[in-house]
Amino acid sequence: MTDAALVLSLKAHEPGSAELLFERYRPYVERLIVRTVGLDPEVPDLVNEVFARALEGIRNLRDSLALKGWIGSVALFTARGFLRGRRTRRRWLSIFSSDEVPEPVAVVASPEVSRTLVHAYAVLDVLPPDDRIAFALRVIDGMDLAEIAQMVGVSLATVKRRVARAQRLFWDKARRDPMLREHAPPDEEEEEK
């Protein structure tokens, strides 16, 4: 079944169409969520939520050929909301914490997660959600800038600006992390000196 036929099927609430959507786009949505959010224990719930939102909003999708981009947008919108909520929650919790610098969150209690990955995501957590999403998709996933712009719903120039800003902020922080600093690109300011 083509995407166009699937969209029509979804709009008509045909049996099995939701399952087919899930089956076809689950890996894609998982990838986007994990890239942007990290390996958070809530990833499965977020993936689920993306599809629930997609089913609710499918009637508003006009271009049935743009299903993939559209569901990607839903995923990123969901990820953005989650990241914002998590930042807010951490800010509140930090009021009660005596630690000066929060420890990286071990997002998955599994030895398979290397400390480097955990440290990298601890630094990513500091970035504003919009910048983080653009950065993760561009730098980690290697996605095309124009594709990101389309999915996020902003101009190409805005995406470029977000990526550059996030990149600068990430490495500023990462250079202070013993596990990450060796991977940092040359510091232009230092080089100029």
List of residues contacting another protein (CB under 8 A): 18-19, 22, 26, 30-31, 34-35, 39, 42-49, 51-53, 55, 85, 92-93, 95-96, 99, 103, 108, 110-117, 120, 139-142, 178-179, 182-185
Looking at the Cβ atoms of 2 and 94, the one nearer to another protein is: 94
> Crossing angle of helices 3-11/67-94, nearest 10°?
70
Looking at the Cβ atoms of 62 and 185, the one nearer to another protein is: 185
Give the DSSP letter string of 61-80: ---GGGHHHHHHHHHHHHHH
Tally of residues, the chain: 193
Looking at the Cβ atoms of 23 and 63, the one nearer to another protein is: 23
How near is the Cβ of 168 to another protein at its closest, in Å?
A: 13
Cα distance between residue 175 and residue 180, in whole Å:
7
How near is the Cβ of 178 to another protein at its closest, in Å?
A: 7
Cα distance between residue 91 and residue 64, in whole Å:
41
Looking at the Cβ atoms of 115 and 157, the one nearer to another protein is: 115
How near is the Cβ of 94 to another protein at its closest, in Å?
A: 11
How near is the Cβ of 28 to another protein at its closest, in Å?
A: 12
- Whether the Cβ atoms of residue 170 and residue 184 lie closer than 8 Å to each other: no
Give the DSSP letter string of 151-182: HHTS-HHHHHHHHHHHHHHHHHHHTTSTTTGG
C-alpha distances in angstroms, 133 versus 2, 63, 98, 128?
29, 25, 30, 9
- Whether the Cβ atoms of residue 60 and residue 70 lie closer than 8 Å to each other: no
How near is the Cβ of 24 to another protein at its closest, in Å?
A: 12
Looking at the Cβ atoms of 112 and 192, the one nearer to another protein is: 112
